[in-house]
Amino acid sequence: MSEPEKTKIDSPIKILIYLYSVVAGLASVTAVKFLVNPEPNVVRYPSSIPLIDLFAFFIFFCYLIPFYQGAITYLNNAYTEEFEKKKGEILVDFLHLLGESMVFYAMSASLSRIFLFVSWLAVLIIIDTIWISTIKLRKIRGVPDLWVYLNLFTLLILLFFWIFYSTYPELANSMIGYTILLFYSLIRTIFDYTRAKLPSGEDFY
C-alpha cells in the first residue's frame, strides 16, 4: 500500500477513535457524577456513598473498559498496511462504534434505575453482536470468536434478570439484584481478558 493510500485510511480511523473516545469519556464523567455528585451542590464523602450505587458504578465500568479497549484494539489490528480498503468499509465501523458509545452514555445516565440500565445494556450487546457479525462477513482480521458467545450468553442472563425483575421488582432493585449483575459482569470481563483470542490463535489483548 502506498503512503498516500495509507494516510487516507489512517485519518478516518484517527477521527473514529477520537469521536468514540470523546463520547465514552462523557459517559465516564456522567457515571462518576452519579457516584460522587448526584445532586447540584452536593458532593459525597467516600464513606457516605451507598454500596448499591458503588455496585452500579462498577457494573457500568465492567462493560465500558473492555468494550472500549476491544474496539480500539480491533481498529489497530484491522486497518493495517495489509488492509485493502473497500467502499464503505470504515463507515460501517464508524456507525456501529458511534452507536455503542451513545448507548454507553445512556447507560451511565440510567445507573439509578436498574431496569432501565439493563435495557440499555441489552441494546449495547445487540449492537455489538451485529457489528461483530458484519466484521465476520467482511472477513476482516480483528475480533475473537469468543465475543459472540459472551454476547449471546449475556443476553440470556439479561432475559432472566428481566423475568426476575417482573416477578420480584423489590428484590431486583435491592442489593440482591445489583450483586447478581456485578458478579456476572466481573466473571464476563475476566473471561474476556483471559480467553479472548484472534482466529489465528494469538491473544487479542
Residue 203 lies in a domain: no
Question: What's the pLDDT score for residue 64?
Answer: 97
Provide the greatest CA pair distance for the chain: 61
Amino acid letter, 147: W
**What confidence tens digit (pLDDT) does each residue in 174-201 have?**
999 999 999 999 999 999 999 999 888 8
C-alpha cell at 53: 450505587
Name which residue leads in pLDDT, 10 or 77.
77
- Mean of the pLDDT values across residues 81-94? 68
Residue 200 lies in a domain: no
Question: What's the pLDDT score for residue 104?
Answer: 97
In DSSP notation, 106-118 reads HHHHTTT-HHHHH
pLDDT band at 124 (very low <50, low <70, confident <90, very high): very high
**Using CB atoms within 10 A of its CB, is residue 87 exposed (0-12), middle (13-18) or buried (19+)?**
exposed
Question: What's the pLDDT score for residue 141?
Answer: 65
Rounded CA-CA distance 55/45 in Å is 17
- Mean of the pLDDT values across residues 148-158? 96
- Asked if 27 and 107 count as a contact pair (C-beta separation under 8 A), the reply is yes
Rounded CA-CA distance 2/125 in Å is 37
- Asked if 34 and 112 count as a contact pair (C-beta separation under 8 A), the reply is yes
Question: What's the pLDDT score for residue 87?
Answer: 55
Question: What's the pLDDT score for residue 7?
Answer: 47
Question: What's the pLDDT score for residue 59?
Answer: 98
- Share in percent of the chain as helix, strand, coil (round to 5): 75, 0, 20
Give the global pTM. 0.89
Rounded CA-CA distance 151/122 in Å is 9
Q: Which domain holds residue 43?
A: 3-195
The proportion of the chain whose per-residue pLDDT surpasses 90, expressed as a percent, equals 64
Residue 65 lies in a domain: yes
Q: How many domains does the chain have?
A: 1
Residue 72 lies in a domain: yes
State the average pLDDT for the chain. 88
| Cα-Cα-Cα-Cα dihedral sign, residues 96, 102, 103, 105 | positive
Question: What's the pLDDT score for residue 41?
Answer: 82
C-alpha cell at 54: 458503588
Residue 204 lies in a domain: no
